[in-house]
Amino acid sequence: MLRLIGSLSFIWLLMATSTMAQTWPPVLDADGQPLRSGVEYYVLPAVTDVAGGLTLVNLNNGSICPLFVGQKPLAPVVSRGTSVIFTPRVADTVIRETRDFTVAFTGVTICAQSTAWRVGERNPETRRRYILAERDPIPSSNAWHFNIVKNDQGLYNFQWCPNRLIGVRPKPLCGDAGIVVENERRLLVLDGPAFPFIFRRA
């Protein structure tokens, strides 16, 4: 009987994994391999000769902290930026399209703050929401949960549209992540044209 229960459990797990793979295909890195949880990746622009990889930047407004998610400028030697680690919201070993995850830069900062990405409040002047790293993730909050979607060209965009809130009224004010230039800084923000990225294993 125990052997039968064990076999049925294995079959159920296999079917669930297969269904998940069909429903939410894995996000692929630049080498065509699934993005894996806990592995370091560089987030680079899908269009070459535009800029470097993502990293933490300040707004150059007289203070260093807090730090915002931004992009290295185009230079003679293109920088890959700072590597990140993705962690799925639900137990899984890979990052899947449209499924929530948290993302954090590796290393530490001079601001002694978290390096996890978070959606900030809407700027009253620009009407955009900046993505910054300021506090450690709060499990009950959706501000730290992003997902990756594939656009019409087959490239990947970051999006903020928490799965847990879908179907709830009012719906979350979802947004695609794009790059804007402010004070000579390239910043990752919501509520603008989406910017496509690729992921290269560090």
Q: Total domain count for the chain?
A: 1
Q: Is residue 107 part of a domain?
A: yes
CA–CA separation, 72 and 57 (whole Å):
9
- Across the strands, what pairs with 200? 42
**pTM of the full predicted structure?**
0.83
DSSP 38-99: T-EEEEEESSTTS---EEEE---SS---SEEEEEPPP-SS------EEEEESSS-SB-BTT-
- 7 is a domain residue: no
pLDDT one-digit tens code per residue, 16-39: 444 455 589 999 999 999 999 999
Confirm whether 8 is domain-assigned. Answer: no
* Residue 39 domain-assigned (yes or no): yes
> Would you state the pLDDT for residue 147?
94
Residue ranges making up the domain that contains 160:
25-201
Q: What torsion do the CA atoms of 51, 55, 59, 62 make, to the nearest 10 degrees? A: -120
Q: Is residue 18 included in any domain, yes or no?
A: no
pLDDT in tens, 119-134: 988 888 888 899 999 8
Is 158 a domain residue? yes
Domain with residue 75: its CATH number is 2.80.10.50
